[in-house]
Amino acid sequence: MTDQPPRPALALTVTFVAQMLIAFVSAAAPVIAPTVAPQLGLHPERVGVFNALMYLSAMISGMLLAPWIAWAGPMRFTQILLLCAAAGAALATVGTVVGLLAAALAIGIAIGCTNPAFNAILGRHVPISSAGLFFSLKQAAGPAGVAAAGFMLPMWLVWTGWRASLVLIAISCVIATAALTPTVSRLEWRSRMKPARLPLMSALLKVTSEPALRRLGLVSMTYAMAQQGFLAYFILLLVNLGIPLVSAAGLLASSQLISVVARIAVGHVADCWMSPRHLLATYGLVMAISLFALGSLPPSPSLLAYFRPSWTAFQADRGRDFSVIVDGISD
């Protein structure tokens, strides 16, 4: 293993940018679906199928590829993940069912190994005393990427069209991959030993066999379902309620900006004041209330005039923290 001096700021910058770009790519489908899906002869609701395939790919690739991160090197693995995200965005421009299927699989690979790769980089370089804050800062890149997609993609759709927008996303990921090359020698470490060959289901069996991991896994799965359901259908719901796409995407983006702040704050709270278990339970109650409030919104063309959501949806480090918060609906 190559011995490198700690570089916490550089490690955080690299992982933040990479995770933000991958989150941007993964959020593109829900943002553009209300406009693009009818042009392809698909129902906008089918974005849920795309997301399901994307995260199925993420789950399988995470189990298969994560053990190889230390051997390949987490920095070089990060470059591979960015190229997978770029390939997914490019494949989606084909506009066929096969192209969309391939895009979902490629983006899923990028999503599935982000946390193992990025955590390996940060775990090597950040001080233990501030680990919660550093990992929360890195996780804040997820909602930051979704926010960027919500703010930028509707404008790109108008200016360049959906295919050119996806090409721009792909090019951004390729540029980021190239830009990371000089940092590899400064952050990289590699294990000389190849990972042991483990059965495909060994990780899942380990989680289900240990009570504490099983409970955390079930809670994480439930919270992730709520989070991804929100991200996949929030814009479509608002569009169906009479809100223009640009405004609906802007509301999603605004909610994710709040989430950026919340993720960072939660990491500090979990380090200093409140146990992650109690924090996680509190989020479950808030999430249930928030989902009920969102599902109870009445259909109205003037909904935007009084609807001010400050919805925060996030999953903090290692599946520990998820949150969905709605401030309310004003007069």
Q: Where are the domains of the chain?
A: 8-323
Out of 4-8, 51-55, 119-123, 188-192, which region has the weakest mean confidence (pLDDT)? 188-192
Residue 213 CB neighbour total at 10 angstroms: 12
Mean pLDDT to the nearest integer, 205-228: 80
3-class DSSP assignment, residue 275: coil
How far CA 63 is from CA of 151, 203, 226, in Å, comes to 33, 7, 22
Half-sphere exposure of 207 (CA within 13 A, CB side): 12
Grade residue 99 by pLDDT with cuts at 50, 70 and 90. very high
Out of 122-126, 170-174, 237-241, the most confident range is 170-174
**Residues 155/304/297/266 CA torsion (nearest 10 deg):** 70
What is the identity of the amino acid at 306?
Y
Give the C-alpha separation, 328 to 253, whole Å: 17
8-323: CATH topology = Growth Hormone; Chain: A; (1.20.1250)
3-class DSSP assignment, residue 302: coil
Residue 25 · residue 88 · CB < 8 Å: yes
Based on its alpha-carbon atoms, the radius of gyration of the chain, rounded to whole angstroms, reads 20
DSSP 205-241: HHHHHSHHHHHHHHHHHHHHHHHHHHHHHHHHHHHHT
The residue among 90 and 222 whose pLDDT is bigger is 90
b (16+ CB within 10 A) / e for 26-46: bbbbbbbbbbbbeeeebebee
3-class DSSP assignment, residue 296: coil
Would the pLDDT of 318 be above 50?
no
What is the identity of the amino acid at 90?
A
Mean pLDDT to the nearest integer, 238-247: 81
Dig out the tokens for 311 from the structure.
């919805």
Out of 129-133, 249-253, 301-305, the most confident range is 249-253
Out of 92-96, 114-118, 322-326, the most confident range is 92-96
Give the C-alpha separation, 87 to 81, whole Å: 10
What is the identity of the amino acid at 300?
S
| Percentage of the residues of the chain whose pLDDT score is greater than 90 | 23
Grade residue 305 by pLDDT with cuts at 50, 70 and 90. very low
